[in-house]
Each structure stands twice: as structure tokens, then as C-alpha cells.
Structure 1
Amino acid sequence: MSATSQALRGYATNAASTRSDRRAEYEIIARVTQELRDRAVKQKSDFPAFVEALHNNQRLWTALVVDVADIKNPLPKELKARIVYLAEFTANHSRQVLKKKASVMPLLEINMAVLRGLKKEGPVT
């Protein structure tokens, strides 16, 4: 099992053991994205919960980078490089969001693009 799969499974509360790693990744990214979206809407009334959601999103991207850095990861080098770039962007942009100098929307859009990519590769089962 890859480092990402292990790290991402930590987010899952009731992940069934019969799910594929890709399905688990999809569900975890979807859950983190939904949490971030929901808490962004209420950030003025519950900023600590919004900060927690941003932190969870950052943990997700850190886990993805750890996974692509693994020499055993079979993804193409170009895709690995894109994931590292997106993780760096996510970290930098999250800091701007916390300073209230940027919108959370780009972070949500990136996560949604990853979800579309996971779906595009075939059924997520």
C-alpha cells in the first residue's frame, strides 16, 4: 500500500476494506473538499472550523506529495511534478486565504479537478 493510501485512509472513518485505493482516494478527497466548501460558507461565523478545514486540505496535499515522492509510485514523472506543484500552490494559497487576502475558490477548483481526473480514468470502484 502506498504512503498516500495509508495517509488518506486516516481521514476515512468507515472505509470498507474491499474498496480500491483509487476509490478510497476519491472518497477522501471528496470529503475534504466538501468539508472545505461547507466551512468556507460559514467562515465569518465559525472561522476556527474554516481554519481546520484548510488544515485538513493541506494534510491531504502533503500526503499526496509524500506518495508521489515514493520511488515505487508508478505515476509518470510529469504527473508527479504537477502534483508537487499543486501542493506547493495549495500551501501558499492557503496562507493567503488565512490572511484574508485570497479566496478559497482556487483550492476547491483544484480539488474538484483532481476528482474529475480520478473519475475520468474509469469507474471509481
Structure 2
Amino acid sequence: MSLNAYRRAQSIAETPRATEYRLMSQITGEMIDARDAGLAGAALMPALHRNREVWSAFSALCGTPGNALPDELRARIISLALWVERYTSEVITGRDSIEDLILINRAIIDGLARENIAN
């Protein structure tokens, strides 16, 4: 089976939460790899940009009318996305470390893993 065929099959069979789990795991892995390679500041941009993009997408989806998540959870996700946006700027300028972004993503990954097990 070709890689493209595998990816198509995966996207059809995967639940939205499983997709979110996989995406967050990949992005967090990229940030961990960058940290472990000793990268700092602007050198972290590729991993940080991808992380910002996913959090921006989560925020936008939570603000969409008809989103089925509970209002409180949607508000928390939007709040986290805003924090990620601001904090990422601190990491890029070298005023802070990437570690807190990794910790937040790991907490989300853990929550998604528990939800996937429960379903």
C-alpha cells in the first residue's frame, strides 16, 4: 500500500479527536526535538509556527456558531490559544523557554488520549 493510500485510509477511519491527538503529538514532538537540539529564539520558528497555527485553528473552531463543545470548554480553549500566541512571541525573542508550550500541549494530548480511550 502506498503512503498516500495509507493516509487516505487513516483520514477516513480516524475520529476527529484521534486526528487532534495525532496532530498535537507531532507538533509537540517537533518542539521537543528542537529544544533537545539546543535551538532557541528564532531558530525555533518552524516548530513554533506550526504550534501557533494549530492553536489558532482550535480557537477559530471554538468560536464558530454551532460548535458542539460545552461553552466553558470552548472558552478555555480560546483562552489557551490566546496565551499560546502571546507566549510564543516571548519564546521567539528569547525572553522565555519553549518548555511551557510543550507542557500545555502534553496536557492537551493527555486529555485527548483519555477521551479516545473512553470512546
Same fold (TM over 0.5): yes
1:58–1:90 CA contact under 8 A, matched in 2: yes
Give a deviation string over 1:25-78, Cα, whole Å, max 9, x none: 110010011011101222448x53x21100000001001011111112111111
Q: Classify the secondary structure of the residue corresponding to 1:70.
A: coil
What 5-or-longer segments of structure 1 have no aligned partner? 1-12
Whether 2:101 is the aligned partner of 1:107: answer yes
For 2:68, which of 58, 74, 80 is the aligned residue? 74
The whole-number CA distance in structure 2 between the counterparts of 1:118 and 1:30 is 10
Aligned length: 112
What amino acid sits opposite 1:53 in the alignment?
A: A
What amino acid sits opposite 1:23 in the alignment?
A: A
What 5-or-longer segments of structure 2 have no aligned partner? 1-5
Which residue pairs with 1:9 in the alignment?
none
2:52–2:85 CA contact under 8 A, matched in 1: yes
1:124, distance to aligned residue in structure 2 (A): 7.7
Whether 2:35 is the aligned partner of 1:40: answer yes
1:22–1:124 CA contact under 8 A, matched in 2: no
Q: Classify the secondary structure of the residue corresponding to 2:13.
A: coil
The normalised TM-score by structure 2 is 0.84
The normalised TM-score by structure 1 is 0.80
The whole-number CA distance in structure 1 between the counterparts of 2:60 and 2:38 is 29
RMSD (CA atoms): 2.3
What percent identity do the matched residue pairs reach? 28
Higher fraction of helix: 2
Structure having the higher Rg:
2
The whole-number CA distance in structure 2 between the counterparts of 1:44 and 1:116 is 26
Whether 2:4 is the aligned partner of 1:14: answer no
Whether 2:98 is the aligned partner of 1:98: answer no
Which residue pairs with 1:52 in the alignment?
46
